Amino acid sequence: MEVIQVLHMNGSGAGDFSYANNSLLQSKVISMTRPIAEEAINNLYCSTFPTSFTIADLGCSSGPNTLMAVSQLIKTVENSRQKLNKKPIEYQVLLNDLPGNDFNTIFKSLPNFLENLKMEIGGDVGPCLFTGVPGSFYGRLFPSKSVHFIHSSYSLHWLSKVPQGLEESKRNIYLVNASPKRVVKAYYKQFQEDFELFLKCRGEELVKGGSMVLTLLGRRSQDPTSKECCYIWELLALALNDMVSQVFFFQNYIINFPKICC
Amino acid sequence: MEVIQVLHMNGSGAGDFSYANNSLLQSKVISMTRPIAEEAINNLYCSTFPTSFTIADLGCSSGPNTLMAVSQLIKTVENSRQKLNKKPIEYQVLLNDLPGNDFNTIFKSLPNFLENLKMEIGGDVGPCLFTGVPGSFYGRLFPSKSVHFIHSSYSLHWLSKVPQGLEESKRNIYLVNASPKRVVKAYYKQFQEDFELFLKCRGEELVKGGSMVLTLLGRRSQDPTSKECCYIWELLALALNDMVSQVFFFQNYIINFPKICC
């Protein structure tokens, strides 16, 4: 029995251990990068003045952050539009995540969210049309040349699959301090392939002159196995391995128990 | 206490009493109208040969019928395209239902469905991009002039709200054999308003020359209160009223029970 090498986010949108109730860090990251995203979308709007504006959020998740970024983006465009006295425009918001994401919870919250958004913006706001797009962003998601602005925060560090060549790293879930070079290279190669495919797909989907703001996890150190980025996964792997051994102990206990009784 | 006058579909996509496991009638209706829908989409494709084709299904529900209609429509277009030796096209499928619909179950089934669809079609198929659009079709759902083909089966008999003026019909859930004219008129007026709004919205969303195939419940009799269309709802109202009176009885029993014990 081995600790599996793939981690998934908790798909359910509710409960103490859900992503929705454990996503304060991701919320802070969206706030930190907010001025960059706002400037980008404002420049895009003011350079083209489209009558319909399609915004995609990739890796939208299900929780308080899901609609935070896009609502800020819509407010930014609306601020400029109303100042410049332009006619109301249509917004199409494409919320993307893997098919296992809790889209039901997002969709149920939309009627209230839209009511509040329109009240906050004030004035004459055009239709805000929200859709859910289930699928991996390492593949095509939207029609060709259909999206004006793509936003993705804290999602692109999730690889499309477990890299090949991790035989020497079986009891770990990511790079560790002692990872051999081959393992480091395997992760690096997988990221390169994934990111290239990501850019190719988005290149087909963005309208001419469209914009993209991507926020990725990074590190300050040159060393990819430095504690700065691996330590938490190393600790988690230790905990998981410990849990696995406990399961073995527990299984043995259950099996032996009737023998003690008899 | 009154029997509520609004009926909802069972939103959950699983379980014995789910719509998914009780939708054989709706499935038969889709099969019966299949030649009409196929002819309409084929004519549309062959008159314009678009490079991307957007199909919407309104009131898609969550169950075996959800993807049945759209997969037949895609197969029809693909059949013509391959016969005419045209280049692969992009499909965008917009699955719409109310925000309480079980979109999660649909989305989770999509990867397998797409794999099977591509295998069944065979040859070189373009991207098939599926999205969920939560919202009432008595309002805007899609961007202006963005949809080529709209399909809706067995959905448009659901009104947007309980009509006004049903004071004389309190213990019923729809028209009954003895409904006064005022009640008949109230339902008729609500349908007229709803359907007018529906057509207005779809008119804005369809591309020029786009098509729509709508399947609605009808009746042969001139009499709107004839048994042909009301009888099932009359029986259901009787059953619900009976259940409500049982609840009262049961409540009284519970309240009285401690008294008997003491």
pLDDT tens-digit series, residues B184-219: 999 999 999 999 999 999 999 999 999 999 998 888
The reply to whether residue B107 touches residue A142, judged by beta carbons under 8 angstroms, is no
CB atoms A132 and B131 under 8 Å: yes
pLDDT reported for residue A2:
35
Q: Do A132 and B134 touch (CB under 8 A)?
A: yes
Token output for A188:
């690096």
Give the chain B residue nearest A134 (alpha carbons). Answer: B107
pLDDT for position A230: 79
Show Cβ contacts of residue B169 under 8 Å, excluding neighbours closer than 6 positions: B5, B175, B176, B179, B180, B183
Q: What is the pLDDT of residue B16?
A: 66
**Which segments of chain B have a pLDDT < 70?**
1-23, 249-262
Angle at which helix B24-48 crosses helix B68-83, to 10 degrees, equals 30
Mutate to test the interface with A, among B94, B102, B115, B131 (most CBs of A within 10 A): B131
CA distance B172 to A88: 43
Residue type, B222: Q
pLDDT for residue B197: 98
B-chain residues within 8 Å CB-CB of A140? Answer: 127, 129
Number of neighbouring beta carbons within 10 Å of residue A162: 14
Beta bridge partners of A90: A52
Q: Which of B52, B99, B140 sits opposite A129 (nearest CB)?
A: B140
Q: Measured between alpha carbons, how far is residue A110 from residues A27, A67, B243 in Å?
A: 19, 9, 34
Q: How far apart are CA A187 and CA A174, in angstroms?
A: 8
- Nearest-Cα distance to chain B for A39, in Å, is 25
Residue A106, token pair as written in the block: 């997002």
Determine the longest span between alpha carbons in chain A, in angstroms: 86
Q: Do B144 and A104 touch (CB under 8 A)?
A: no
Tokens of residue B208, six digits: 């020029």
- HSE (side-chain half, CA atoms, 13 Å) at A97: 24
A239, A179 Cβ separation under 8 angstroms: no
Tell which residue, B128, B32, B111, has the closest CA to residue B71.
Answer: B128
Cα–Cα distance, B31 to B54 (Å, whole number): 22
DSSP bridge pairs for B132? A132, B95
| pLDDT score recorded for residue A257 | 42
DSSP A92: E
For testing the chain A interface, which of B104, B129, B130, B147 should be mutated: the one with the most A CBs within 10 Å? B104
The predicted pLDDT at position A175 comes to 86
Domain ranges within chain B, ordered by starting residue: 3-221, 230-262
Instruction: Determine the Cα–Cα distance for residues A132 and B106; give it in Å rounded to an integer.
Output: 12
pLDDT of B138 reads 98
In A, which residues are within 8 Å of B143 by CB distance? 52, 54, 90, 92, 129
- Contact at CB, B107 and A134, closer than 8 angstroms: yes
Phi, psi of B173 (to 5 degrees): -115, -5
Question: Cα–Cα distance between A92 and A84 in angstroms, integer?
Answer: 21
CB contacts of B67 in chain A (<8 Å) are none
Cα torsion B72, B77, B83, B87: sign: negative
SS (HEC) of B111-127: HHHHHHHHHHHCCCCCC
Cβ contact B103–A108 (<8 Å): no
Between B101, B102, B143, which is nearest A92 by CB? B143
Using CA atoms, how far residue A43 sits from A40, A75, A215, in Å, is: 5, 14, 19
DSSP character string of chain B: ----S-------SSSTTSSTTS-HHHHHHHHHHHHHHHHHHHHHHHHH--SEEEEEEET--SSTTTTHHHHHHHHHHHHHHHHTTPPP-EEEEEEEE-TTS-HHHHHHHHHHHHHHHHHHH-S----EEEEEEES-SSS--S-TT-EEEEEEES-TTS-SSPPS--GGGTT-SS--TT--HHHHHHHHHHHHHHHHHHHHHHHHHEEEEEEEEEE----SSS-TTSHHHHHHHHHHHHHHHHHHHHHHHHHHHHHHHHHHH-
Report chain A residues touching chain B, CB-CB < 8 A. 51-52, 54, 90, 92, 94, 99-104, 107-108, 110-111, 127, 129-135, 140-144
Assign A150 to helix, strand or coil.
strand
Check A131 against B104: CB less than 8 A apart.
no
Pick the CATH number of B3-221 from 3.30.950.10, 3.40.50.150, 3.40.50.1370, 3.20.20.190: 3.40.50.150
Of B92, B94, B107, the CB nearest to A99: B107
From chain B, the residues in CB contact with A142 under 8 A are: 92, 129
Cβ contacts below 8 Å, chain A against chain B, sum to 82
Residues of chain A with pLDDT under 50: 1-9, 255-262
Task: Report DSSP state, residue A167.
Answer: G
Whether residue B111 and residue A99 make contact (CB cut-off 8 A), yes or no, is: yes
The pLDDT value recorded for residue B186 is: 94
- Could you tell me how many residues make up chain A? 262
> Which has the closest alpha carbon to B22: B35, B13, B31?
B13
- And the tokens for B141? 């759902």
Rg of chain A in Å (alpha carbons): 22
Q: Which residues of A touch B107 (CB under 8 A)?
A: 99-101, 103, 132, 134
Closest-CA residue to B92 (of A207, A144, A52): A144
Q: Tell me how far apart the alpha carbons of residues A63 and A27 are, in angstroms, rounded to a whole number.
A: 10
The residue ranges of DSSP E strands in A171-242, in sequence order, are 206-215
